[in-house]
């Protein structure tokens, strides 16, 4: 398995560019299943989860062609209804095939994703919503098996604003008979991006980006071209990389509106941010200051930036508190940060971080996608050498991270496993 080796202590300088959003690309690619006609998707990040999604789509009968950041899809001949365990277990977002397959073909069998490192992550709200639209949903032999000759529009109030749950129900409603109104849904910008693509395909959707979305079902969708929005989690990670190393870094393609909460906290920590035509410039000359942060659904502080923020808190002056409200068990990076000298105490959903003057490099292990990014930031700031193993977690969602950070002065490289 590949490792990432970092020699800490070099401030980052220059311009680093954000790629397309993984969490927007995945539902948009899944939405190709909704009908024939060529879909051309640009600015698709070349990350492992995207490759897994294209493999799944090909298995279901979609003709998929990828050329760099462009993916072309043609789903006229989709016949298979089954997303198998082998693929689903490597990527929970495979659940995004459920809504489109069911509404297009009248039946879908998608493996239950099962447990994952950051918590139980159930999909009950996806299933409840589809059942309210008239689907007969059974869970048997490890699979979700849903059937409906044609879904019917319904009013659905979500108990919690689940992101992929909202996306599954929107896609299902596009081809349902009648109007569906979804209430208390997730407001993440990736959902608005998915809706923009669906509207180009001929779907009738209003309210995207708000907590109430209305979809008037149509009988079919056509092909469309779409450019995927920039990745706000990658952008936020770069902003924090500039902040933790005390550099002067411009993050190109960073959409300020998508990261309001992070920016408030980063500025509270003493980091200077300035918006430019090119992107956001991040500078720090004084020590970082402690802050209190709570993860929340958008527009709150994203759980996907929690581990990275804890790396910053580890070296901030004073005592910081991180409260994780989205996923229980999403503190797997804590023992690894402790190996680097961080002083962190976890009590249920709270982590109390007493800032120290410097972390020290150590061999550490990545446990999930965003935890890995937290360890990269810690390594960039630490004294001496850090090696991160199990970087396949990082490769699921970050595109050439070591190259991008290396190009702006980070001493970071991938050590490839010799086969
Ligand atoms: C998406 C993102 C992921 C991000 C997460 C929260 C994608 C591909 N992934 O994941 O990067 O960390 O949003 O911002 O976009 N829940 C239920 N029942 C359900 C569904 C969810 O109880 O049916 C709970 C989950 O256990 C969790 C919370 O809702 O506690 C949020 O999960 P959800 O928004 O569904 O996350 P994902 O869509 O899986």
Is the CB of residue 181 less than 8 Å from the CB of residue 156?
A: yes
**Predicted model pTM:** 0.97
| Environment class of 120 (CB within 10 Å of its CB; exposed 0-12, middle 13-18, buried 19+) | exposed
Q: Which residues, 6+ apart, have CB-to-CB distance to 67 below 8 Å?
A: none
From residue 36, give the alpha-carbon distance in Å to each of 77, 78, 204, 314, 333.
8, 9, 17, 51, 43
DSSP letter string, 188-241: -HHHHHHHHHHHHTT-EEE-TTSSEEEEE--S----EEEEPPB-HHHHHHHHHH
26 Cβ below 6 A of ligand 1: yes
Summarize the confidence of residues 165-169 as an average pLDDT. 98
Percent of the chain with pLDDT over 90: 90
406 pLDDT more than 90 = yes
The residue among 266, 293, 297 whose CA lies nearest residue 281 is 266
Strand arrangement, sheet containing 82-83: 82-83, 107-111, 143-147, 136-140
pLDDT, one tens digit per residue, over 176-232 is 999 999 999 999 999 999 999 999 999 999 999 999 999 999 999 999 999 999 999
Percent of the chain with pLDDT over 70: 98
Q: pLDDT class for 419, splitting at 50, 70, 90?
A: low
Summarize the confidence of residues 246-251 as an average pLDDT. 96
Tokens of 167: 């996306």
From residue 217, give the alpha-carbon distance in Å to each of 50, 133, 198, 278.
28, 12, 12, 40
pLDDT, one tens digit per residue, over 320-357 is 999 999 998 899 999 999 999 999 999 999 999 999 99
pLDDT at residue number 1 = 83
Q: How far is the CA of 327 from the centre of ligand 1 (A)?
A: 8
Q: Which residues, 6+ apart, have CB-to-CB distance to 387 below 8 Å?
A: 3, 4, 5, 6, 363, 364, 415
pLDDT at residue number 120 = 63
pLDDT at residue number 119 = 60
What is the DSSP secondary structure assignment for residue 392, as one 8-state letter?
H
Most confident range, picked from 1-5, 22-26, 414-418:
22-26
Helix (H) or strand (E) holding 130: helix 124-132
Summarize the confidence of residues 388-407 as an average pLDDT. 94
115 pLDDT more than 60 = no
- For the CA of 233, the nearest atom of ligand 1: 11
- For the CA of 327, the nearest atom of ligand 1: 30
- For the CA of 298, the nearest atom of ligand 1: 14
Checking 206-212 for CB contacts under 8 A at 24+ apart, the result is: 211/161, 211/183, 211/184, 211/185, 211/187, 212/181, 212/182, 212/183, 212/184, 212/185
**Rg (Cα) of the chain, in Å, rounded?**
21
**Known catalytic residue: 195?**
no
pLDDT at residue number 278 = 84
Q: Which pairing describes strands 224-227 and 3-7: parallel, antiparallel, or unpaired?
A: unpaired
Cα angle 294-300-305, degrees, rounded to a multiple of 5: 65
Distance of CA 335 to the CA centre of its chain: 23
167 pLDDT more than 90 = yes
Q: How far is the CA of 350 from the centre of ligand 1 (A)?
A: 19
Helix (H) or strand (E) holding 373: helix 369-381
Terminal CA-CA length for the chain: 9
Which residue has a Cα nearest atom 29 of ligand 1? 162
Residues belonging to the chain: 419
78 Cβ below 6 A of ligand 1: no
Which residue has a Cα nearest atom 5 of ligand 1? 163
Q: Which mutation among 26, 48, 53, 165 tests ligand 1's pocket best, with the greatest number of atoms within 8 A of CB?
A: 165
| Environment class of 289 (CB within 10 Å of its CB; exposed 0-12, middle 13-18, buried 19+) | middle
pLDDT, one tens digit per residue, over 13-30 is 999 999 999 999 999 999
- For the CA of 397, the nearest atom of ligand 1: 11
Residue found by looking up tokens 């790396």 in the block: 311
117 pLDDT more than 70 = no
pLDDT, one tens digit per residue, over 249-301 is 999 999 999 999 999 999 999 999 999 888 999 999 899 999 999 999 999 99
């Amino acid at each position: 398995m590949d490792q990432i080796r970092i020699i800490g202590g070099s401030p980052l300088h220059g311009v680093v560019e954000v790629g397309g959003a993984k969490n927007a690309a995945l539902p948009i690619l899944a939405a190709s299943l909704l009908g024939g006609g060529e879909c051309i998707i640009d600015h698709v990040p070349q990350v492992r989860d995207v490759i897994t999604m294209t493999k799944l789509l090909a298995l279901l009968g979609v003709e998929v062609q990828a050329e760099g950041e462009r993916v072309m899809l043609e789903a006229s001949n989709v016949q298979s209804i089954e997303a198998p365990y082998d693929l689903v277990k490597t990527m929970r977002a495979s659940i995004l095939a459920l809504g489109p397959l069911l509404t297009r073909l009248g039946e879908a069998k998608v493996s239950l994703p099962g447990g994952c490192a950051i918590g139980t992550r159930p999909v009950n709200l996806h299933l409840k919503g589809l059942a309210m639209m008239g689907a007969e949903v059974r869970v048997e032999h490890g699979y979700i098996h849903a059937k409906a000759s044609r879904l019917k529009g319904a009013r659905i109030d979500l108990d919690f604003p689940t992101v992929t749950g909202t996306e599954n129900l929107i896609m299902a409603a596009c081809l349902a008979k009648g109007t569906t109104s979804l209430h208390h849904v997730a407001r993440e910008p990736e959902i608005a991006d998915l809706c923009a693509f669906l509207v180009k395909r001929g779907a009738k959707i209003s309210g995207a980006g708000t907590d109430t979305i209305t979809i008037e079902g149509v009988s079919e969708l056509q092909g469309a071209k779409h450019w995927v929005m920039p990745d706000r989690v990658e952008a936020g990670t770069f902003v924090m990389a500039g902040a933790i190393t005390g550099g002067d870094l411009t993050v190109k393609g960073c959409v300020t509106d998508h990261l309001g909460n992070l920016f408030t906290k980063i500025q509270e920590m003493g980091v200077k941010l300035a918006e430019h035509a090119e992107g956001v410039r991040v500078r720090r000359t004084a020590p970082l200051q402690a802050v209190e942060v709570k993860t929340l659904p958008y527009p709150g502080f994203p759980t996907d930036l929690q581990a990275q923020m804890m790396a910053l808190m580890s070296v901030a002056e004073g005592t910081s508190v991180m409260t994780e409200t989205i996923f229980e068990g999403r503190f797997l990076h804590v023992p690894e940060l402790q190996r680097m000298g961080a002083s962190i105490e976890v009590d249920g959903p709270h982590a109390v971080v007493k800032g120290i003057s410097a972390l020290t490099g150590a061999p550490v292990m990545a446990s999930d996608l965003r935890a890995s990014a937290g360890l990269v930031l810690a390594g960039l700031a630490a004294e001496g050498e850090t090696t991160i193993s199990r970087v396949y977690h990082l490769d699921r969602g970050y595109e050439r991270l070591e190259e991008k950070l290396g190009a702006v002065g980070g001493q970071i490289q991938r050590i490839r496993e010799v086969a």
